[in-house]
Amino acid sequence: MALRNDESISELGRRLYELMDEKKIGSPKDLAKVLYKLELVHVKTRENFNSPERDRDNAILSIEKKIVRHIKSGMMVDSQGEYLLAYCKFFQCSSDYIMGLTNIRTPNIEARRICELIGLPEETVLELIELNKDELRPVQGCWSMLMKSSLFHSLPVDIVAMGNELRLMYQREAEIKALEWERGIVSGPDLMDINLDIEGKQEELESRRSAFYGLLSKASRNVEDTIEDDLKASFEKFRTMFTEAMLNKTKERYN
């Protein structure tokens, strides 16, 4: 049985296999070759002056054995932490992520702390941090405007309500399909009952559909109103100054 399919492998081993899959590295041996080629780990082996290829193969075999040991045992005991550092550098993640102590991958301590404090995905946090370096990109300001508005609380509530209505819509759709199939194999009073059931389910389906799109329309309108109000407030001073300047310029032509 392949090592990756062994249910008894450690959490560290599972995490390493996930990272290897992302890099399209199929086996510990393939990973050993990469770490050796990039000189991320070093191996003391007896040199064979007649065959550099054999020296290379022996080194890769030694690295592979250690990787397999890490996968199986979940422990890394090399005194200088060379392998843990190599994994972190190659997979671009933190040591805690490698060891399965956190699901936040980034080695950026500040970003990880933000993720832990507010629960945003690390991709979002890292993107915001990166965009904050570019003063010409208005991303932070736009999201700040939306988040400081009433949408901060109302929009998530509306989205959850929409999700519930959509779920009920899909349930009724499935129930109608099942009843329509059943209608094809029954007759008499049973057929009449099924037709009534289908009619009732269809009415409820349309009710849920109306509720879903009503909530969607409300949420969209609230977003539009928030953006409109903020932009109008932001440009009100400009509006007043420009109007005054245009009036003064026009009046000057007649003085």
Q: pLDDT for 79-129, tens place per residue? A: 568 899 999 999 999 988 988 888 899 999 999 999 999 999 999 999 988
Tell me the C-alpha distance between 231 and 237, whole Å: 11
Contact 102, 112 (CB under 8 A): yes
DSSP 3-state assignment of 137? coil
CA–chain centroid gap for 94, Å, is: 18
Is 196 exposed, middle or buried (CB count within 10 Å of its CB: 0-12, 13-18, 19+)? Answer: exposed
Tell me the C-alpha distance between 64 and 154, whole Å: 54
The number of beta carbons lying within 10 Å of the beta carbon of residue 20 is 21
139-147 and 189-252 helices, crossing angle to 10°:
120
Residue indicated by tokens 């991303």: 139
Contact 119, 112 (CB under 8 A): no
What pLDDT shows up at residue 43?
A: 82
Q: What is the DSSP letter of 41?
A: S
User: Residues of the chain whose pLDDT is less than 50?
Assistant: 1
Residue indicated by tokens 């929409």: 162
What pLDDT shows up at residue 1?
A: 44
pTM of the model: 0.70
Sequence-distant (6+) residues with CB within 8 A of 130 are none
CA–chain centroid gap for 118, Å, is: 15
Tell me the C-alpha distance between 172 and 162, whole Å: 15
